[in-house]
Structure 1
Amino acid sequence: MKHKNAIVLAMFGTTVEPALKGLLNISGRMRARYPETPVRIAFTSNIIRKKWQQRAADPDYIKEHPEIPAEILEVRTVLATIADLQDQGHDTIILQPTHVAMGEEYLDLGTFVDGLMRMGTVKKAKYKPFHKVVLGRPALGTYGVAHPYHEDIMAAATALAADAELARQEKAALVYMGHGNEHFPSSGSYLELAERMRRLHPDVLTLIGNVEGYPALADVTAELRRFGAKKVLLKPCMVVAGDHAVNDMTGPEDDSWKNVLERNGFEVQAAASGLGEIDAFADIFVRNAGEAAADAGIVLR
């Protein structure tokens, strides 16, 4: 029996049009690596999907934004996207998240995979909806012995070399805004990433704070003072420079990171581009999808 493969990129999504560059870069590089394998985008955020549905139904918006591809305007949930592929005859799915760190969304995707693989039939096994459904790793890795997480973190640190170089040229500390999580201990991954970058680039102070959880902006500010930093290059440690970057990081509100840092006496230069726009970082997700397939005995072309 011949099995048909497909890749589904599970993305939180964004409603900020320029931020789509990070997501489309990942999907584009995935398609370039596996030109014979269908690659689909799915958004996990209900709010973001609903916003795109509204825009897709607005003729004026479509006319004003011809650059928005149909796959964004018609974006669906992860399960709906997989169901469409199954209806088209694809029974082998690589579900690759574009999350930076492991958190609740990644664990939710794991339950999807478990549920889909449990679907059976009272007749022959060949009638099962799916042959294999496998889950790839987030950028900073996950638990398990097959792929040590510290190697994933080192790969991410290496991929961000251009950011360190820009901070070096500006004679600034490099401060990333991560999303973080108040319910899962993902902060260790961010802290290790910052440490790896400091070792790779010892002349650049690299720190990562999170919107949610530890370390917070106050922790980053304390470290900047401890090291005597005067200038800061501020960047999102997120795949897209979406709402958090536009508002929480550089927005006009008093509590935006840029304004808080400036009130604390630091000169701030912001670079609002998502990690997905960096080819080397986007390629981490391409690699992780390929390794998830290989681990399951799936050949992607």
Structure 2
Amino acid sequence: MVAGRPVSGAWRYGHESALPGILNIRDQVQASLPGVPVRLAFTSNIIRRIWQERRKDPAYAVQHPEVPTEIINVKGPLAAIADLQDEGYGYIVVQPTHISSGEEFADLASYVQGLNAIKTVKKRNMPFRKILIGRPALGTHGIEHEYRHDIEQVAAVLAPDVEMAKKAGRALVYFAHGNEHYSTGVYLEFEQVMRKRYPGVRIYVTMVEGFPDNARLFEELAADKTRKVLLKPFMTVAGDHAKNDMAGPEPDSLKSQLETRGVNVAASLVGLGESDAFAAIFARHIKDVMSDEGL
């Protein structure tokens, strides 16, 4: 998400099912920053191309009236920032909607660092005063904002998920994206925080990529003799990974693999961004980075 002192959001989703989470975060951010323009941006080249193809198809907008024009015309972070610079904004906040400080966040931070490195001969010709970047939901490195506190904040807003699993008599399994970037162990820390905060329900975390992985999940479920689980995407939106990798009918989906092991599986295809309390975390992170800069 980009705001200047707009805010720009960095999302990468092509499924219409991802839109409720995206748009709710946008709305929560806009409500918390009245008068500040908020723009959406997608970091993924692949996802932007999907929307570009849809933009060329006149029938798409007719068939999908629920899709806002700003999504159909969505740009990448660099283009969104350039638009704000053209409009005269000197301070721009780039707020990722990533869960953790992984590969995509590192790439986005590199964009911001590169733009901030521009030095014109005359100061008045600088394209920006400064571009700021907020931190992911689970925090990042640095001493200004303790990442452990960010983990606790995320855990605190997930009580409804735990209650849903408890009422159904199921363990709660969060399915995160992860990445092949060097692991920080933050997902294991999140799992530990959740287990300590909600001791009445067994809670597990697994990921599409990286660790903790499905092999670990299967071992833990077997050791705990857990036979009933509720799958929830630990992702900002319930897009392709949630629909297919987590809960799809294919034999390699997490749901199918669990069922072949005799586990009774229920799945909830609701992204974290659809929760107002979770969406508000990103709004707070924007305010934090603005406050740090004295804005």
Q: Please indicate, yes or no, whether the TM-score normalized by the shorter chain is above 0.5.
A: yes
* Equivalent residues in 2 for 1:109-124, closer than 5 Å: 109-123=108-122
Match of 2:210 in 1: 213
Provide the residue aligned with 1:264 in structure 2.
261
Residues in 2 aligned to 1:218 and 1:118: alpha-carbon distance in whole angstroms: 43
Partner residue in 1 for 2:219: 222
- Measured after TM superposition, the shift of residue 244 of structure 1 is 0.5
Q: Is the Cα–Cα contact under 8 Å of residues 113 and 133 in structure 1 kept in the other structure?
A: yes
Distance 2:281 2:22 in 1: 13
Distance 2:112 2:126 in 1: 14
Q: C-alpha displacement at 1:198, in angstroms?
A: 1.0
Instruction: Report the counterpart of residue 8 of structure 1 in structure 2.
Output: 8
Paired with 2:168 and 2:268, the residues of 1 have a C-alpha distance of: 12
TM-score for both structures, normalised by structure 2: 0.97
Q: Take 1:183 and 1:14, find their aligned partners in 2: how far apart are those partners?
A: 20
Contact kept, 8 Å, 1:6 with 1:94, in 2: the verdict is yes
1:54-102 CA deviation, whole Å, 9 max, x = no partner? 1111111111001100110000010000000000111100110000001
Residue type at the aligned position of 1:214: F
Does the 8 A contact of 1:120 with 1:129 survive in 2? no
**% of aligned pairs identical?**
49
Structure 2: gaps spanning 5 or more residues: none
TM-score, normalised to structure 1's length?
A: 0.95
Name the residue aligned to 1:101: 100
Structure 2 counterpart SS, 1:180: coil
Counterpart code for 1:133: I
Query: Post-superposition shift, 1:126?
Result: 2.5
- State the match for 2:157 in structure 1: 159
Alpha-carbon shift at residue 104 of structure 1 (Å): 1.2
Letter paired with 1:78: P
Q: 1:165 Cα shift?
A: 0.6
TM-aligned CA deviation for residue 127 of structure 1 = 2.2
* CA–CA distance in structure 1, aligned partners of residues 47 and 141 of structure 2: 29
What is the CA deviation profile of residues 249-297 of structure 1, one whole-angstrom value per residue up to 9, with x for unaligned ones? Answer: 1111101111110111111000011111111111111110110111111
Q: Secondary structure of the residue that 2:204 maps to in structure 1?
A: strand
Which of 141, 144, 147 is equivalent to 1:143? 141
Distance 1:269 1:110 in 2: 37
Q: Does structure 2 conserve the Cα–Cα contact (< 8 Å) formed by 1:237 and 1:274?
A: yes
Runs of 4+ residues deviating >6 angstroms: none
Q: Give the alignment's Cα RMSD to 1 decimal.
A: 1.0
Quote the residue 2:237 is aligned against. 240
Post-superposition Cα deviations, 1:169-202, rounded to whole Å, max 9, x if no partner, equal 011110011111222214x111111111111110
Q: 2-side partners of 1:129 and 1:101: how far apart? A: 30
Q: Counterparts of 1:10-25 in structure 2 under 5 Å? A: 10-11=10-11, 13-25=12-24
Structure 1 CA distance for aligned equivalents of residues 8 and 292 of structure 2: 17
Distance 2:81 2:46 in 1: 20
2:81 is aligned to: 82
| Aligned 8 A contact 1:10 1:43 in 2 | yes
Counterpart Cα distance in 1 of 2:259 and 2:214: 13
Q: After TM superposition, give the deviation of residue 48 of structure 1 in Å.
A: 0.5
Distance across 1 between alignment mates of 2:39 and 2:182: 28
Residue 278 (1) aligns with residue 275 (2):
yes
* The one of 182, 187, 203 aligned to 1:184: 182
For the residues of structure 2 that align with 1:182 and 1:121, how far apart are their CA atoms? 37
Distance in 2, Cα, partners of 1:250 & 1:104? 25
Alpha-carbon shift at residue 132 of structure 1 (Å): 1.3
Between the two proteins, the alignment pairs up a number of residues equal to 292
Secondary structure in structure 1 of the residue aligned to 2:243 = helix
The separation in 1 between residues aligned to 2:114 and 2:294, in whole angstroms, is 20
Cα distance between partner residues in 2 of 1:265 and 1:250: 16
Q: What is the deviation of 1:19?
A: 1.6
